[in-house]
């Protein structure tokens, strides 16, 4: 939950109706967000596509994580998002990104919990 909620909350702010991104989200990806690489700042490539993929991932991956379905896949996706966010907001490492990365790595290492759908499906699969 601790890893899923910040991404889910962010994802909920990106939409302006069903499958329609908010103008603010499109503006952020096209005009505000910059990748900080090798001492330079570069625009996000394909900003409309990046905005759509990000908005869908910020909703879908946390839901999978909360449900405990494809848990490691969801954690890996959120770890990748955290890495990209670090490139966009390099000052966030100490306050947020290190914490998110540690949570994602712990989930990747430990796997789903006892109350996860992954565990339930694995038990059911073994019985058959």
With 90 as the cut, is the pLDDT of residue 78 above it?
A: yes
pLDDT at 113: 87
Contact 52, 43 (CB under 8 A): no
Q: For residue 14, what are the CA distances in angstroms to 17, 49, 58?
A: 10, 13, 9
pLDDT in tens, 92-115: 888 899 999 999 999 999 999 888
Q: How many residues does the chain have?
A: 128
What tens digit of pLDDT does each residue of 31-73 get? 999 999 999 999 999 999 999 999 999 999 999 999 999 999 9
Tokens at 51, concatenated: 């905005």
């Amino acid at each position: 939950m601790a890893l899923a909620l910040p991404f889910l909350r962010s994802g909920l702010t990106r939409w302006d109706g069903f499958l329609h991104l908010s103008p603010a989200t499109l503006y952020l990806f096209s005009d505000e967000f910059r990748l900080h690489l090798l001492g330079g700042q570069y625009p996000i490539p394909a900003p409309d596509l990046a905005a759509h993929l990000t908005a869908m991932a910020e909703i879908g991956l946390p839901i999978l994580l909360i449900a405990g379905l494809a848990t490691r896949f969801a954690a890996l996706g959120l770890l990748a998002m955290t890495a990209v966010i670090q490139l966009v907001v390099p000052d966030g490492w100490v306050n947020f990104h290190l914490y998110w990365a540690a949570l994602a790595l712990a989930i990747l290492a430990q796997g789903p919990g006892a109350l996860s759908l992954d565990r339930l499906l694995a038990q059911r699969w073994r019985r058959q």
